Amino acid sequence: MQEHLIEITDLTKIYGAGDIAVRALKGVNAAVEKGEFVAIMGPSGSGKSTLMNILGCLDRPSDGTYVLDGEDVSRLSKNELAHVRNRKIGFVFQSYNLLPRLSAAKNVMLPLLYNGVEHLSDAESYERAIEALESVGLGERTHHRPNELSGGQQQRVAIARALVNNPSIILADEPTGNLDTKSGEEIMGLMRQLHDQGVTLVMVTHELDIAEYAQRVIYLVDGEIVSDRTQASGIAQLHNGYNGGAQ
Amino acid sequence: MSFWRTLKVAWEGLALNKVRSFLTTLGVVIGVAAVIVMLAVSAGAEAEIADQINALGANLIVVMPSFSRGGFGRQSGPPPSLTYDDLGTLEQNLTGINGVSAEQSTSQDIKGGDTTLESISVVGTTPSFTKVREYALAEGRFITDADNDRTNKIVVLGYNIAQELFGGASAAVGQSIKIDTTKFVVVGVMAEKGLVGSTDYDERVYIPITVLFKKFTYARFGGDTLNMVYVSAESRNTMDDVMAQLSQELMDLYGTTADSPGFALTTQDSIIDAQASTTEAFRNLLGWVAGISLVVGGIGIMNIMLVSVTERTREIGLRQALGARPRDVLLQFLLEAVMLSLIGGIVGVLLGVGGSYAFNELGTMRTEIVTASVPLAFGAAAVVGIFFGYYPATQAAQLDPIVALRRE
């Protein structure tokens, strides 16, 4: 049997207890192969953020298993999860989350600070950061601070930061949510480029045209997968139905 | 993350808000400097007192008659006392001593040239006085045994008295003055000594003790009874031995026993000890006040670190997402607090040592920097940093990355 990069089985997440318990995920099953570009969609409250947090090892499932790159990470301690995040996951956030006082290069170097495996020197870290920035087309702006960069450029810095540790997977949470259409398209172009280079991407979005960049769309409703197909176009009807025909 | 990297990150965190970091540090700076200065001031005060007591003369034993023997009801007649003749006996029989001297004083008006000085302390004493009290002459000679034996009417002036009456030490020798109605020849002038305790040694005159008995006190005290006798031991080591000998001699002279000897022996050490217990209480008080200010400084650090954790919640969440373990975050914030307090400690030590030194040099107050207070204050600052930094750091480390990242 072929090993999946991500394999989640009966993934359940319950917040609270007793009468006020909320079941955010109700036994989700899915697998993601290496090199896939997957979009997770769903109306608000569908559990897509919860799923994303668990996939990102920021949270642990209440029940079920999550195997990432051959390792069951569903029962790891906080310290072990931090290690997995550092080694295997690159995050791209809606609001970039760059530290304003640091240059682009220093921001990209941040994950390397916590890389307890490779023990890179400052010079090696810097070199890696510059490489990552060049790969997202920001080789010229390595010493600029976030406030000297456009939104699109800031998100590129964030993507470079996600790439710098050569993670198994990039998790993007509404990566274009804070960007204008043109910058958003550029970022998605970059994501597709990464996909073409073989990087595995999982992205949460609520925008159909953004989801169309992905190879496969998982649609969540009320903590359950209602659709999992390899073309975004077929999802439009479903999506519009849940969004009251808006869009 | 390595310790040095964390240290660097913590330093960057502090540099983020320089004014705030500076103000926070100030509390510790003041606390540490206060500890050092307070201890230096009280050590200076103690040293001052010890010096004054030692200025009485080194290794001094004071013999005073004690009235505890039986009380007045059972014992008729005067209490046991020493006479001038006993001094010779003591001086001869005791070994390991520099000398024995007696002092008896009265207050008289003094006239020299055209000047009259009122109520001057006139001290009758013996030749050993200069040795026992370690007191030098500026000019001329001191009282001799011959002066006492023949009741010579000679006088040795205190430094200021010579100035006031004759304009100087050398001018005074050979002149004559009147004490009350008796004429005395000035044979010497004492060197400057200044205030010891409340006594101004430069405002006194010295005459042979036998002359004092004859001219000024015989009517009042019934003869040559000595109120106080000073014995100077050769060194600190012979003190105990001299005291034992002295007790035996005195009991022999008085015809008393050890149960009720009829006299009391006091040493400088016992006086210094009594003074020290007073200054120690004072020092402890100052130490506590300074220590409390250090704690207040620590609370300031805790306060600012809590604010900092709240302000930087998103940063903490991000660092956690990027792989920072709880202990990495803990260490980062703990190091920030410790760095704040250590920088405060260093500046405080410099300020405290410098301040103590300046007080001393400017003559405002005598200070002696207590060497132990420097590592003590610095160590206390470090402990304060760890103690008050730990709680905010655990708050940071315990943040849930999901919640932290969502925080605006």
What is the ipTM score, two decimals? 0.92
B202 in the same domain as B318: no
Given pLDDT bands bounded at 50, 70 and 90, which one contains residue B229?
A: confident
Residues B74 and B218 in one domain: yes
What gap in Å lies between CA A236 and CA A224, rounded to an integer?
18
Same domain for B115 and B146? yes
Domain span including residue B214: 67-261
For residues A223 and A203, the answer to whether their CB atoms sit within 8 Å is no
The answer to the question of residue B43 being in a domain is yes
Residue A110 has its nearest CB partner, among B322, B325, B402, at B322
Does residue B59 lie within any of the structural domains? no
Q: What pLDDT shows up at residue A244?
A: 58
- Give per-residue pLDDT as tens, B157-190: 999 999 888 888 888 888 889 898 889 999 999 9
pLDDT, residue A2, reads 59
Tell me the pLDDT band of A1, cut-offs 50, 70 and 90.
Answer: very low
Query: Measured on CA atoms in the order B396, B399, B404, B407, is the torsion positive or negative?
Result: negative
Could you report how far apart the first and last alpha carbons of chain B are, in Å? 27
Handedness of CA A131, A132, A137, A138 (dihedral sign): negative
- Between chains, do B402 and A53 touch, taking CB under 8 Å as contact? yes
Residue B212 near residue B104, CB atoms below 8 Å: yes
CA-closest candidate to residue B13, choices B327, B329, B302, B391: B329
Could you say which of B228, B261, B294 is where a domain stops?
B261
The verdict on B200 and B329 lying in the same domain is: no
Entry pTM: 0.73
Task: Quote the minimal CA–CA distance from B323 to chain A in Å.
Answer: 4
Judged by CB atoms within 8 Å, which residues 1-30 of A form the interface with B? none
Domain-embedded: residue B34: yes
Any idea which architecture A34-58+77-242 has in CATH?
Answer: 3-Layer(aba) Sandwich (3.40)
Q: Would B245 be classed as within a structural domain?
A: yes
pLDDT at site A147: 94
Conformation bin of residue A246: beta by default, left when phi > 0, alpha when psi is -120 to 50: beta
Asked if the Cβ–Cβ distance from B321 to A114 is below 8 Å, we say no
Query: What are the tens digits of pLDDT across the range B254-301?
Result: 777 777 777 788 887 777 777 777 778 888 888 788 888 888 889 999
Q: Looking at residues A63-74, what average pLDDT do you find?
A: 93
Q: What is the pLDDT of residues B13-34, one digit of tens each?
A: 888 888 999 999 998 999 889 8
pLDDT by residue (tens digit) across A75-130?
Answer: 999 999 999 999 999 999 999 999 998 999 999 999 998 887 778 888 999 999 99
- The neighbour count for residue A167, using CB atoms within 10 Å, is 21
Domain presence at residue B62: no
The number of domains in chain B is 2
Query: Is residue A23 within 8 Å of A222, Cβ to Cβ?
Result: no
> Which pair of structure tokens corresponds to residue B233?
């031991």
Domain map of chain A by residue range?
Answer: 34-58+77-242
- Looking at the structure, tell me whether residues B292 and B252 fall in a common domain: no
Q: Is B58 within a domain?
A: no
Q: Which chain B residue's Cα is nearest to A89?
A: B322
Q: Which of A53, A86, A93 sits opposite B323 (nearest CB)?
A: A86
Looking at the structure, do residues B147 and B257 belong to the same domain, yes or no?
yes
The answer to whether B403 contacts chain A (CB < 8 Å) is no
Residues B289 and B174 in one domain: no
> Is residue B266 one of the residues assigned to a domain?
no
CB contact under 8 A, A83 and B323: yes
User: Residue B404's closest chain A neighbor by CA?
Assistant: A58
Q: Are residues B341 and B242 in the same domain?
A: no
pLDDT at B111 over 80: yes
